[in-house]
Structure 1
Amino acid sequence: MKMKKANWIIFGVITVFYIAAMAMPFINIFCVSMPDFLPIAVALVLLMFIIVGWKNGKAKTAVRIVNVCIGIFAIMICLAGEYLNPWWNSISEHPNSYTFLNYNEKISGKDAIADIDYAMKYVRKIHPLCYKGMPDGVEKQYQDVVDYLKGKDEVEVAEVQAELQSILSQFHDGHTSAAIWNDDSYLYLNEWYKHEIAGDQIIAINGIGVDNIYDEKLNLYSADSKEYGYARFCNDVTDLSALTMLGYNADDGITYTFLKPSGEKTDETYYTKDYVTYDQYCRYNNLDETEESDEEDPFVYYTIDTDRSLATLTLNSCNYNQEYRNCLKSMFTEIQDKNIQNVAVDLRNNGGGASAVVNEFIRYLNVDTYRGMGSKVRYGCFYVNANEGICKNKKYNDLTFKGNVYVLTSVYTYSSAMDFAMYIKDNNMGKIIGQASGNNPSSYGDISQIYLKNSGLVMSVSIKKWYRIDPQKDGELIEPDFECSPGDEFEKLYSIIDTKKQ
């Protein structure tokens, strides 16, 4: 009886261990990162349990077979969690468990190399472009960076970011990049607001034209298109951490040349003390006094212009949630009640999110089927097709819209927002107004976010290759049907609608 009781205890311990091993990948994704050696160590322990269990002559053969089967299955799940799961050690679901260093904190050159090596390990493992090996240009830049850091006793975090970016930019993938996540690192030029509202443009820094600077620093920007990289660069030139990454030292002063709307050029020099946190920036420019509340602006809202028979949906982030669905339903209900004939979707400031937002929008349109995107996903040594093919539209028949659809885009229309525009354009559901999208539909995306423990940087790495819906336009940006200058999109839209009335 004692032996039987002992056997049950052993069986219980082994069962708990099997369950824990199979739960490891899920714990890793949703709760905490783990050392890369842990799945191997656990797999070896499981293998020992299998062997011991099989050699236990007192157990029935059926029990031993079940033990072997469960053990092998647990080993497969455990190892697949690390080697086939592209989200292994991604911090996307638990970002608050980590320490993020400031841009000007310093680490040793040795620690910087360790972070670079760790980053490249994950790039090799999960990026689709590395499925058959690291591209030559990437490998060469990686070796150059390591050689450079070997000669450094210590480096600032911003410099580590710059060196890693010089490698990742070789992928020409805007979703694969390194970033500083420390909120205190975002320091804004305190007087930029007065220049912005005056319409001033920065045309040079320290006497060198911004176009020339961008051409020189192009290798520090991960982008599908040069235009999107340039847009990001223009945003960076008033942020101190980004300027430091670009090689500027505000302690010595940074001189901006501003071009005023009148054509006059002026030079102004700023120092480290002139770059402040966002709260300080708002107080400096009295922006907090104009706020009606502390609530954030809604990411989605709509307006109705009955004179033009136009409903405009402004979508600044692709969040597929109840707020978005409620907004769509409310808008299309009002469209039906007021017999509105034109719908415009403003995606000019939308950097992406969940691609499901466009599928929900299409449910209100008068189409039965439409073409979806093609893609391939990297699962370790496997590269799996995940094509959507022809999608059946689950229409809201009581709110079906049969009028004209327009989508407003800019270089900041990116990722899932770009997908939104592509679904409308490539399925001939509407027209695009504005400028070309920020990234290419045939590009990489869906990211895993890896924490680099020494520098505190976070590296985003694409795990999926996307393909454009219209194969005849593969490799092209989402080009507008009606092109216009930034800021003139609504003027162009009104002109198109007014012309149709005539």
Structure 2
Amino acid sequence: MEKIEEMLKGDLMNRTISLGIKVIMCVCVIVGCYCGLGGRTVERPSKATISIGQFLEPRDMKEDFDFLLKTICEVHPSTNTLGQNKDLVADVYEQIKNPMSIADFYFQISKIFSLFHDGHTRINATMFHGERILNVPIYWTNDYMMITENTTQFNKGDIIHRIAGFDKDAILQYLRDIVPSENDNWVKAVGTKIILRESVLKHLTGQDAQDVDFEIERNGKLALVKVPYTPMDQADLRLLNYSSPYKQIIDSYQIDKDYSYGIYKLDEFILNEDFERRTRDFFMNVIDQGVSNIILDVRDNVGGDSRCIDEILKYTNINGYNNFGSITRNSEQLHEQRGIASAEPYTYHNSIFQKNYNHKFNKLFDGKIIVFVSKLTFSSANWLGTIIQDNKLGTIIGEPTGNSPTSYGDPLYFTLPVSKMRFQVSHKKWLRPVTINEQMDALYPDIILYPSMSDIVNHRDVHLDYVKSTISRLSDSP
């Protein structure tokens, strides 16, 4: 702490502020410089070690919060966010002067992460050991929340008007404070899981209840359903993991010669031998069968390894494409975790033309490229759609995505020293290839289509149906 006060000499020391605010003023004003305390990367604990019943003392929370703020200060590319919100930071310091549960501490520090509007900078949102959940399969459409599967208490297609007395607008406003994001699409995409957690509903309502009221509409009539909490080991994970209406539509890939398309379901970007094999098999089948259109479906893909994009595009006749630029915040933590060191505070890389290494293949796909996206499309999956759109390599169809193309990312990983909660902080700002669109909060498809309730209930793929109805027009376009 002496080192922090040492940096606050001069005008800042003349202000009458609490020790907690002194820490923050260091973080906010001495930004861009190293605070001199360094970050610590702690080994990740088992999830089971963090119990929902655990209580923290003020000194322990302060140690965690000091560490969190210094880490964000030294790692994140945004250097003024904390300074612009010092009143909120001061309020957190005030709140943690009294003992509180680890869940309540989690919600206090979640407010800090949400300030950055950065879906890659966040506290770990996994459930605490011993926490219960509502066993309810929910999907948040563009207009409302609905039930996606039949259960003992709900029918598929039930519209949810209120949960625990809160309507969808109030729930959305609440989730914005605990789900770091660039847009509401991502809040809705992941919020339907988060709002089912016991700790979250207790924090929202201020009540410690054994069940939760759902006000629903079924066949035009209103009804009240009381849903009890379920221990996590008894929950139906198949229902709870049903994150979108597109999850079970296609398995890996399929080819339709009648409509001359091949659709490749890419639910994750993990570059390994299996991904390479599936990608090669997809393109060889498409090429051998003379298919004119490919659909790259990343509607359920929250990202991963961006090199998967190169692996996909190398089977096409594209010569190359303009890739993302970046601004890297250099830090001791970056050096510790990645082995990257620089005397400069930032490293800049402009968008460059990346050659497509497809020369090793005798057969290449030379037809039309279509990319399906949704609100769950995030990170490197969002990159795929952005590269295709910005380079005019194909057509994007679906919903606005959950991630801004120009956004922070490539996080470093940390653990709070006392509570052991894990968190991550972006150390780069990615710059989309076409900078004229860099202020957009999402990748907006060329053709925006939202699934209706009927589409979801009947497992109808509105995006694929659209392509099949217009495939000849897409194939004939220049």
TM category, shorter: 0.7 to 0.9
Show CA shifts across 1:323-373 (max 9, x none). Answer: 111111111111111111110011111111111111111111111121010
Describe how 1:238-317 pairs up with structure 2 within 5 A.
238-251=196-209, 253-260=211-218, 262-271=219-228, 274-277=229-232, 279-282=233-236, 301-317=252-268
Instruction: State the match for 1:433 in structure 2.
Output: 397
Pick from 417, 423, 435 the counterpart of residue 471 of structure 1. 435
Q: CA RMSD in A?
A: 3.0
Instruction: State the match for 1:60 in structure 2.
Output: none
The answer to whether the Cα contact below 8 Å between 2:52 and 2:128 also exists between their aligned partners in 1 is no
Distance 1:301 1:100 in 2: 36
The answer to whether the Cα contact below 8 Å between 1:176 and 1:461 also exists between their aligned partners in 2 is yes
The answer to whether the Cα contact below 8 Å between 2:404 and 2:443 also exists between their aligned partners in 1 is yes
Match status 1:232 vs 2:187:
no
The answer to whether the Cα contact below 8 Å between 1:181 and 1:458 also exists between their aligned partners in 2 is no
Distance 2:211 2:45 in 1: 35
Match status 1:420 vs 2:384:
yes
The residue type paired with residue 258 of structure 1 is I
Instruction: State the match for 1:214 in structure 2.
Output: 172
Name structure 2 gaps, 5 residues minimum. Answer: 4-33, 138-148, 242-247, 332-343, 452-460
Q: CA distance change for structure 1 residues 165 and 382 in 2, over 3 Å: closer, same or farther? A: same
The answer to whether the Cα contact below 8 Å between 2:262 and 2:294 also exists between their aligned partners in 1 is yes
Residue 270 of structure 2: SS of its match in structure 1? coil
Residue 184 of structure 1: SS of its match in structure 2? coil
Larger RCO, structures 1/2 (Cα 8 Å, 6+ apart)? 2
Show CA shifts across 1:57-110 (max 9, x none). Answer: xxxxxxxxxxxxxxxxxxxxxxxxxx799x96445xx53578741234222233
Distance 1:210 1:104 in 2: 29
Match status 1:352 vs 2:303:
yes
Residue 326 of structure 1: SS of its match in structure 2? helix
Distance 2:59 2:200 in 1: 23
Distance 1:283 1:432 in 2: 31
Distance 1:191 1:126 in 2: 38
Show CA shifts across 1:443-477 (max 9, x none). Answer: 10011121113223111111101111111111112
Deviation at 1:385, TM superposition (A): 1.2
Q: Which moved more, 1:154-163 or 1:484-493?
A: 484-493
Residue 414 of structure 2: SS of its match in structure 1? strand
Q: CA distance change for structure 1 residues 402 and 245 in 2, over 3 Å: closer, same or farther? A: farther
Match status 1:488 vs 2:462:
yes
Deviation at 1:172, TM superposition (A): 0.7
Query: Which structure has the larger Rg?
Result: 1
Q: CA distance change for structure 1 residues 496 and 442 in 2, over 3 Å: closer, same or farther? A: same
Deviation at 1:481, TM superposition (A): 1.0
Show CA shifts across 1:209-239 (max 9, x none). Answer: 1212322452222111122223322332222
Distance 1:84 1:121 in 2: 7
Q: CA distance change for structure 1 residues 501 and 214 in 2, over 3 Å: closer, same or farther? A: closer
Distance 1:307 1:443 in 2: 40
Residue 120 of structure 2: SS of its match in structure 1? coil
Deviation at 1:244, TM superposition (A): 3.6
Distance 2:74 2:378 in 1: 25
Match status 1:145 vs 2:92:
yes
Q: Which moved more, 1:383-392 or 1:303-312?
A: 383-392
Describe how 1:359-398 pairs up with structure 2 within 5 A.
359-380=310-331, 382-395=345-358, 396-398=360-362
Figure out how many residues of one structure are paired with residues of the other and give that number: 401
The residue type paired with residue 68 of structure 2 is A
Distance 2:237 2:75 in 1: 44
Q: TM-score, normalised by structure 1?
A: 0.73
Deviation at 1:283, TM superposition (A): 9.1
The residue type paired with residue 269 of structure 1 is K
Instruction: State the match for 1:159 in structure 2.
Output: 104
Name structure 1 gaps, 5 residues minimum. Answer: 1-36, 38-82, 288-296
Q: CA distance change for structure 1 residues 140 and 256 in 2, over 3 Å: closer, same or farther? A: same
Deviation at 1:180, TM superposition (A): 4.4
Distance 2:292 2:348 in 1: 39
Distance 1:269 1:88 in 2: 46
The residue type paired with residue 176 of structure 2 is L
Distance 2:238 2:285 in 1: 42
Distance 1:220 1:182 in 2: 14
Residue 129 of structure 1: SS of its match in structure 2? coil
Deviation at 1:492, TM superposition (A): 1.6
The answer to whether the Cα contact below 8 Å between 2:413 and 2:424 also exists between their aligned partners in 1 is yes
Distance 2:59 2:205 in 1: 21
Distance 1:249 1:453 in 2: 30
Residue 365 of structure 2: SS of its match in structure 1? coil
Q: CA distance change for structure 1 residues 370 and 185 in 2, over 3 Å: closer, same or farther? A: farther
Residue 394 of structure 1: SS of its match in structure 2? coil
Higher helix share: 1
Residue 362 of structure 2: SS of its match in structure 1? helix
Q: Which moved more, 1:173-182 or 1:433-442?
A: 173-182
Describe how 1:456-467 pairs up with structure 2 within 5 A.
456-467=420-431
The answer to whether the Cα contact below 8 Å between 2:373 and 2:401 also exists between their aligned partners in 1 is yes
